[in-house]
Copies of this chain bind each other. A is one copy, B any other.
Amino acid sequence: MDEVRIAGFRFAGEIVGVKRGSKRDRPDVGVILADQPAVAAGVFTQNKLRAAPVDLSVRRLRRGLCQGLVVNAGNANACTGAQGEADAKEMAALLALGLEPAIDPKLVCVASTGVIGEPLPMELLREGIPRVGRAVSADGFSRFARAILTTDKGPKVAVREVQLDGRTVRLAGCAKGAGMIAPKMATATTLAFVTTDATVEAAWLSDAVRAAADRTFNAVTVDGDTSTNDSLFVLASGAAGGKPLKKDGKRGRVFAEALREVCGELATMLVRDGEGATKVVEVIVEGARTVREAERAARRIAESPLVKTAIHGADPNWGRILCAVGNAGIELRADKLELDIGDVPVVRGGVGVREAETEVAAHAVMKQATYQLRVRLHVGRACASMMTCDFTKEYITINADYRS
Which A residues contact B (CB, under 8 angstroms)?
Answer: 46-50, 76, 78-81, 115-118, 180, 183-187, 223-228, 304-306, 309-310, 312-315, 317-320, 322-330, 332, 334-335, 337, 347, 349-352, 363, 390-393, 395-397, 399-403
Residues of B within 8 A of A403 (CB): 315, 317
Contact across chains for A81 and B335 when beta carbons are under 8 A apart: yes
Contact across chains for B81 and A326 when beta carbons are under 8 A apart: no
Q: How far is the CB of A389 from chain B (nearest CB, A)?
A: 12
Task: Among A224, A313, A327, find the residue whose CB has the most chain B CB atoms closer than 10 A.
Answer: A327
> Given A180-B306, A224-B304, A305-B224, do A400 and B313 touch, yes or no (CB 8 Å)?
yes
Contact across chains for B319 and A185 when beta carbons are under 8 A apart: yes
Q: In the bound complex, how far is the Cα of B397 from the Cα of A314, in angstroms?
A: 13
Q: How far is the CB of A286 from chain B (nearest CB, A)?
A: 17
Select from chain B the residue with minimum beta-carbon distance to A78: B319
Contact across chains for B79 and A320 when beta carbons are under 8 A apart: no
Residues of B within 8 A of A318 (CB): 116-117
Q: In the bound complex, how far is the Cα of B116 from the Cα of A318, in angstroms?
A: 9
Contact across chains for A186 and B399 when beta carbons are under 8 A apart: no
Give which listed residue, B46, B78, B332, contacts A48 with CB less than 8 A.
B332
> Given A224-B305, A227-B323, A326-B228, do A402 and B78 touch, yes or no (CB 8 Å)?
no
Q: In the bound complex, how far is the Cα of B312 from the Cα of A71, in angstroms?
A: 32
Q: In the bound complex, how far is the Cα of B25 from the Cα of A374, in angstroms?
A: 39
Extra 20 A-B pairs, beta carbons < 8 Å, given A185-B319, A391-B396: A48-B330, A49-B325, A49-B350, A50-B334, A76-B319, A117-B347, A223-B304, A223-B305, A223-B306, A225-B304, A225-B323, A225-B324, A309-B396, A309-B400, A310-B400, A312-B400, A313-B399, A314-B402, A317-B403, A392-B400
Contact across chains for A323 and B228 when beta carbons are under 8 A apart: yes
Contact across chains for B117 and A315 when beta carbons are under 8 A apart: no
Contact across chains for B186 and A319 when beta carbons are under 8 A apart: yes
Contact across chains for A306 and B225 when beta carbons are under 8 A apart: yes
| A-B complex: 9 closest residue pairs judged by Cβ atoms | A116-B319, A186-B319, A49-B326, A313-B400, A309-B399, A47-B326, A117-B352, A309-B400, A312-B400
21 pairs across A/B with beta carbons < 8 Å? A46-B327, A48-B327, A48-B328, A49-B322, A79-B322, A79-B334, A79-B352, A81-B350, A116-B319, A117-B319, A186-B319, A186-B322, A187-B306, A305-B391, A309-B395, A309-B400, A314-B402, A315-B401, A363-B402, A391-B400, A392-B396
Contact across chains for B332 and A399 when beta carbons are under 8 A apart: no
Give which listed residue, B46, B309, B320, B349, contacts A186 with CB less than 8 A.
B320
Q: In the bound complex, how far is the Cα of B347 from the Cα of A184, in angstroms?
A: 13
Give which listed residue, B49, B183, B327, B352, contacts A323 with CB less than 8 A.
B49
Residues of B within 8 A of A225 (CB): 304-306, 320, 323-324, 327
Select from chain B the residue with minimum beta-carbon distance to A84: B351
Residues of B within 8 A of A350 (CB): 49, 79, 81
Select from chain B the residue with minimum beta-carbon distance to A346: B117
Residues of B within 8 A of A395 (CB): 305, 309, 396
Q: In the bound complex, how far is the Cα of B225 from the Cα of A310, in angstroms?
A: 14
Residues of B within 8 A of A78 (CB): 319
